[in-house]
Amino acid sequence: MTENNPCLQFNILAWSVWPPLTGEDAQDLAVLQKDVLAFMPMHLKRRLSPLAKTVFCALTPCTVADTSIPVVFSSSHGELAKSLELIKLIEAGEEISPTTFSLSVHNAIAGLFSIAFGYTSEVTVLAPGEEGIAPAFLEAMGLLHEGAAEVLMVFYDEPLPDFYPTAPFQLGADTACAVALRIAKAGTGTGLQFSRGNGVGYQGEQPAHLPLFSQFLSGTAAELTITTPRQSWHWQKLPSTLNPTS
């Protein structure tokens, strides 16, 4: 650790990924999704896009009764597919409803979340660009430093519409994916150390990072490094996590 690249430590109290890493087939996954979202009233569930349902399925296991916890959402593209459909309607001379428009903006899913779960705390929605998942960690660590007891983090993206060229930039995902985690400075869970490095490279944007981070959390690897054109980001499991009996 250096003065310019400090290491930030935190504990993951809970985390969840959707679709699950266990690899259910499409039919089983649909049944699981229906069960996870059974708590939602139908009038609200009808407003959820496929991406929003993916996000809510990842979020639900990580939510807590304390709705004052700040939340950080991170998505490279948000509901871009819905936005494109609205653009096509406008181009065709069709009218669009205010509700349809409100559900297509970048923070639409965050708004639905606050309604469904009754969260009244501050909610931040990031579009991280080429730095991928790292900006959300910086934002969350800042909230912890300012006094928040816990922070709920949510990462999500889905495949981009064919209208948008992505090669060779790894801007999109092969499938919709969401990762949620609840972090704190202390507590029982997976201890991590997060830092910035000087190495550079290119491993795509957030959609390409989510599988790497999910595999890191669920696997035995002690470290994960993701490089970007300007810097690298490093996550390391703390010794107490790797050797819980020591």
Residues 6 or more apart whose CB falls under 8 angstroms from that of 170 comprise 202, 203, 204, 205, 207, 208
Residue 127 lies in a domain: yes
Among 133, 121, 109, residue whose Cα is nearest residue 56: 109
Residue 225 lies in a domain: no
Q: Domain holding 23: CATH number?
A: 3.40.47.10
pLDDT tens digits, one per residue of 75-108: 998 887 877 788 787 888 888 777 777 777 888 9
| Range name among 55-64, 136-145, 169-178 with the lowest pLDDT average | 169-178
Residue 233 lies in a domain: no
b/e per residue 59-96 (b: at least 16 CB within 10 A)? bbebbeeeeebbbbbbbbbbbbbbbeebeeeeeeeeee
Q: Would the pLDDT of 146 be above 90?
A: yes
Residue 95 lies in a domain: yes
Residue 241 lies in a domain: no
Q: Would the pLDDT of 16 be above 80?
A: yes
For range 49-62, the mean pLDDT: 93
Residue 210 lies in a domain: no
Residue 227 lies in a domain: no
Range of the domain at 33: 8-190
Return the pLDDT at 51: 92
Rg of the chain in Å (alpha carbons): 18
For range 55-63, the mean pLDDT: 94
Please indicate whether residue 241 or residue 22 has the higher confidence score (pLDDT). 22
Banded model confidence at residue 215, pLDDT cuts 50, 70, 90: very high
End-to-end CA separation in angstroms for the chain: 24
| Total domains in the fold of the chain | 1
DSSP string computed for 14-73: EEEEES-TT---HHHHHHHHHHHGGGS-HHHHTT--HHHHHHHHHHGGG--S-TTS-EEE
For range 210-232, the mean pLDDT: 95
Residue 207 lies in a domain: no
